[in-house]
Structure 1
Amino acid sequence: MRPDGARRHARIAVLGASGYTGQEFARLALAHPGLELTVLSSREHAGRPAAELLPGLDPRIHTLPAVTDPAALPGLLEQGAFDTLVCCLPHGAWRALAAEVPALARLPQRIVDLSSDHRDGSGGYVYGLPEAFRAEIADAARVANPGCYPTAAALAMLPAAEHGWIGGPAMVSALSGVSGAGRSPALRTSFVELDGGAAFYRVGVEHAHVAEMERSLARLAGSAVEVAFAPQLAPMARGILLTATLPLASALTPLEVQAAYRERYAGEPFVRMLDPGQWPETRVVRASNRCDLAVTTVHGGRTLVATAALDNLVKGAAGQAVQNLNLMLGWPENWGLPAHGTPW
C-alpha cells in the first residue's frame, strides 16, 4: 500500500549497473512501487540492451532503459531523467568520477553510494546503517551505504556497544560468498581455485573493513574499540556468516544478553533474534534484506559470542540501499523489500 502524503516516485539512475550490487539493486527497484528505474549506466556495456546487462530480469514485464555511458549522466540529469543517483562502483571509482564531473556529485537530489569512498563521513555523507542511525539518514541527501562485513559486525555488536559491555578488543571472523569480491574476474575467486574449500585472506587489521567496524563501534560505545578481523572466502555465491567475540567488562549470563538483544531489536523490520539454541544460517536469509542474530556468553560470562547471517548483496548492499532510500524519502522503511529468505 502506498503511504499517504508521500511523493509517488523517485527516478533512479544506477551507476555501475553491470556489477553484482548494481544488478541486485535493479532487481529490487523494479519490484518497488515507489522507485522508477530510468537510467542504467555502465562504461563497459554502454549501448547494449538492458536485458543483456540484467539477465535475470524479464523485459516483457518492465521496459528497461538502454545502457548508457557514465559520460552521458550530466546531460540526462539536466533533462530531468533522474533525481536520485545510486552508485554501485568499485571502491575509489565514485570519488574519482565526482572529482572529474563535480555536477554529478552536486546536483542530484539524493545520492546513495555503495562503495567505501565516503563511509568515513567525508563529503557530507551520512553513514547508512538504519538500525543505528535512522534519524540522521532520514534527514540526509547523501548516504554512504555500509559494507557487507561491517553491517553484519555492527548488528552483532550494537547492543553490547550501546550498553557499555565491551571490555576490550573485539575479534571478528566471517565467511563470505564470492560475490562479495565483485564481478571482475580474479584467479582466487575462480571455480577451480575455490570449489571444495574455504580460505582466509587479509587476516588481522589490514582489511579495509576493519577501520569501518572500529568507527561504528566507537560511535555506538562512545569510546574506541579495537577490532581484529579474519575474513574467509567460502564456495558459495552469496551470504555472510559472522562471529564476533568480545571480552565483557562485567560477567553476564546467556539469558541476560539474549534478553537485552531481543529488547534492542524489538520492532526492527530486518533484524531477527533467534531463539536460544538456534544459530544463523546463510541459506535462510538468502535474497532477503534480513539479518539473523544469536548470542550467548562463555568463560563464566566474561566473553560474549555474537553470531550473524545476512545476504551480502541485499542487507549487505543493495537492499540496505533501498532501505536507506525509503528513509530519505519519508516512506515506510520496509516498503518494497523482501523479509523472507529463499533457502532452496
Structure 2
Amino acid sequence: MNTVKCDERTTRLSGLLSFPLTPFDDADEVDLDVFASHLEAQIAAGPSGLFVACGTGEFPALGLDEYRQVVATAVKQVAGRIPVFAGAGGGPRVAREFALTAQECGVDGLLLLPPYLLTSTPQGLVHHIRYVAAATPLPITVYQRANAVFDPAAAVELLDIPNVVGIKDGRGDVDAMLRLVTAVRTSGHPRATEFGFLNGLPTAELSARAYAAIGVESYSSAVHCSAPDIATAFHRAVRDDDEEAQRTLLTEFYLPFAALRDRVPGYAVSLVKAGAQLAGLAVGPVRPPLVKATPEHVAQLASIVDRGRTALRRLEESRA
C-alpha cells in the first residue's frame, strides 16, 4: 500500500478505485440527488477512494459551476469515510481554476488530466504540471494518456514537485510503464518509494495481472460504477491470486464487455452509463460528443452482465 503524505494530508492510493458517473436529468442539468445515491452505492462496495468529475464522470462536459456542485456534493456525501479526488484539466490557467475550485470544496486530492489538445515534449509536460501544482497544496496524481506521455527522466523529475504523488497510466504500454516505475524506484530520491502508480486503462481488469507484475497493483474500475459486485469480486481474486475466479470472470464478463465497449468510440463512458441504468440508477444520457449506447448494444450488455453474475454466483456456491 502506498501512503502519500503532502502538506499534512495523508492520501492512500491503493486497491480498487471508483470513478463515479455524473448523472444528468431530462433538462440536461446535473442531478445531484441521483449522484448522491450513486456515491452511497459506490462507497458501500468498499473502494479505497472516489475520483469524481474525471473521465467516467465526463469532466470535459462540465461547466465550472456544475463541477463545483458535483465536487461539493461528493465531499459532503462521503463525509470523510474515504478519500475524494476530483479531476482537473484543460489548458494551464483553466486547470488551475478547476484545481482551486476543488480545493475550496475540500477534496483530498486531484487527478490532473492531459492538457487540452496541444502536444509537447515530456519536459514541456512536466512544466505544465509544475504550473498547475504551484496553485494548490493538494496531492496531485497525473494522468498519462493521449498527448500526456512521460519518459523515465520526466517521471523522475516529477519527484521534485512535492505535491505530485503519482502517475495514473491510461496508455497500456506495459514495457514503457515498467521503465517509468523502475526509473522512479531506483532514483535514490527521498520520495521514490512512496510515489504511487495506478493502472487507469478503460477496463483495467484485463491488464490487472500484467500491471501487478511490474509493481502497479492499484487500478481504477469503470465497471464498479454499474456492477460493483463483479468489480469487487474480481479485485479480490487478483489480490488473493485466485486464478480460477479471475479466469471465470474474464471469460464470462470482462472479455465480452471489452469487446462490446470497443465497438464504438466513447463507449468506455456510454456503456458504463447504460449499465448503471440497467441497474436502476437514473443517470441519464451522456453529453456530446459522446453518443449513447444503441438499444441493440444495451441488450447485449444486459446479457453480458447476467452472464457475469451467473458465473459469480456459481463460484460462490462452489466454495460455500
Q: TM-score, normalised to structure 1's length?
A: 0.34
Q: Which has the larger radius of gyration?
A: 1
More strand by share: 1
Normalized per residue, which structure has more helix? Answer: 2
Q: Normalised by the size of structure 2, how large is the TM-score?
A: 0.35
